[in-house]
Structure 1
Amino acid sequence: MTIISPSLLACDFLNIEPELNAFAGVKDMWFHLDIMDGHFVPNLTFGHPIIELITKKAPHKCDAHFMVTNPEFHGEILKDSGLYNFTFHVEATPDSLGLIKKLKSHYPSVGISIKPNTPVSALTDEILKAIDLVLVMSVEPGFGGQSFMPSAFDKIKELKSRRESLKAHFQIQVDGGVTDKNSKELIAAGADNLVAGSYVFKTTKDKYAEKIESLR
């Protein structure tokens, strides 16, 4: 089953707990947290105390995407926070493989992300065999509500092909402009984890589950 990961960047920040609880009965989903530091990307979002509060209250696994210049620092600080998946950017560190090994001692799942202009070839075979998730950004990281970039399809297909040839087991996650207009094609291309923010949250709470199912 495809995992759908509603991005909390698009939720009502003043009522986060009711927003989380609105998904209590939904199956095969994660909560996606976009962590931005104002340096790696221009925007600024959740700090460590808020992340810890969300992971404690959330009825589903929490998946954090760190758009930060110092992912190792955040990985260490948040090691006891309850985060399920910790994703960092390949562009943010000179030693992705070393960081993956460190993070795996603290998190059940570790992911790596590539920006729209970063080729899949930036991810070595060793990285792909070590990682649990690859996040393909289908918009420029830093802000929600952007339009989907079709170049992501080629990256997804390339990752699926390399996953098969390497006999690797990483999930292929896609984030940016995901709606019911492109979700089926993304799944067909090889994506098995879809992040959606505005599409899910720009409706009433009683429709959240319906929105998630429409993406499958």
Structure 2
Amino acid sequence: MHQERLTKLRNASPAVLPSLLQCDFGDLRSEVERLQAAGIRALHLDVMDGHFVPNLTYGMPIVAGLRKLTDLPLDVHLMISDPAAYVDDFAAAGADMLTFHIEAVPEPAQLIQQIHSHGIVAGVALNPQTPMEALSGCLDQVDAVLVMSVNAGFGGQAFDPEAVQRLQQLRQSHPELLLEVDGGIKPETIGPCHQAGCDLFVVGSAIFGQDDYAAAVRQLRDAL
């Protein structure tokens, strides 16, 4: 199951992943239908606990609700202090990929095993100010790395161009990894990230801030 899910994400690359944090939660069914009609091949969910990051979002019920609405891969980004306490519940809710932060779990071997035990793709994320060396102990264990191009949990930040160099470094050192970028992704920034070797591009306002999702997604894909 783990390899099947990983292969599905690899086959979708390069893929635009809408960050549902900015969608209309009063009408999730319509939002998912509009995104699928626009050709989206996976969805990104930002889980924040109000502790690891200062914002508070949603948890397992939203993941479970989305699982009932679509068979698209659900990429769940855990911006939380204790991801191990919730892996089992997110697995039961229907997550296909769980990404934790290296800042929250600096020695993640046991957590990665826990994620894999559910047949789920395991990803690790790091913030812009975190040294790349923090990942050195887990790059051979995880399936994916999420390079944050803004600080996790804070909206309205500008894209940090150092993310491009980080993606290049990871692609060269670990060509088998699935690479993802999150923060400030729009037509002007998505191309350089793709050229650096990125596979998955998390997008918020560049889709949900537009009236026509299909046109917005086409513009992003053209920029790729």
What amino acid is aligned across from residue 207 of structure 1 in structure 2? A
- Structure 1 residue 201 displacement after superposition: 1.0
User: Which digits, 9 at most, give the CA deviation of each residue in 1:103-141, with x for residues without a partner?
Assistant: 1011431100001111221112x5212111100000011
User: Which digits, 9 at most, give the CA deviation of each residue in 1:38-72, with x for residues without a partner?
Assistant: 00000000122122112221341110100000100
- Structure 1 residue 25 displacement after superposition: 3.9
State which of 72, 83, 106 in structure 1 corresponds to 2:95: 83
Quote the residue 1:156 is aligned against.
167
**1:24–1:59 Cα contact (<8 Å) kept:** no
Give the share of equivalent positions with the same residue, in percent.
35
- What is the distance in 2 between the residues matched to 1:208 and 1:21? 15
1:20 aligns with 2:32: yes
TM-score, normalising length: structure 2: 0.88
- What is the distance in 2 between the residues matched to 1:45 and 1:133? 23
- What is the distance in 2 between the residues matched to 1:194 and 1:186? 8
- What is the distance in 2 between the residues matched to 1:118 and 1:98? 21
The unaligned stretches of length 5 or more in structure 2 are 1-12
1:46 aligns with 2:58: yes
- What is the distance in 2 between the residues matched to 1:139 and 1:11? 20
Quote the residue 2:121 is aligned against.
109
Quote the residue 1:9 is aligned against.
21
- What is the distance in 1 between the residues matched to 2:161 and 2:104? 24
Map 1:1-216 onto structure 2 (within 5 A).
1-27=13-39, 29-124=41-136, 127-164=138-175, 169-204=176-211, 205-216=213-224
Of 22-31 and 102-111, deviating more is: 22-31
- Structure 1: which 4+ aligned runs deviate by more than 3 Å? 25-28, 205-209
- Structure 1 residue 24 displacement after superposition: 2.0
- What is the distance in 2 between the residues matched to 1:145 and 1:58? 29
- Structure 1 residue 208 displacement after superposition: 4.7
Secondary structure at the counterpart of residue 158 of structure 2:
coil
- What is the distance in 2 between the residues matched to 1:12 and 1:31? 14
**2:98–2:122 Cα contact (<8 Å) kept:** yes
What amino acid is aligned across from residue 171 of structure 1 in structure 2? L
Secondary structure at the counterpart of residue 181 of structure 1:
helix
Secondary structure at the counterpart of residue 110 of structure 1:
strand
Secondary structure at the counterpart of residue 92 of structure 1:
coil
What amino acid is aligned across from residue 49 of structure 1 in structure 2? P
TM-score, normalising length: structure 1: 0.91
- What is the distance in 1 between the residues matched to 2:158 and 2:109? 31
- Structure 1 residue 210 displacement after superposition: 2.5
**1:2–1:28 Cα contact (<8 Å) kept:** no
The unaligned stretches of length 5 or more in structure 1 are none
- Structure 1 residue 27 displacement after superposition: 4.5
CA distance 1:215–1:7, shift in 2 (3 Å): farther
Secondary structure at the counterpart of residue 78 of structure 1:
helix
CA distance 1:180–1:209, shift in 2 (3 Å): closer
**2:39–2:214 Cα contact (<8 Å) kept:** no
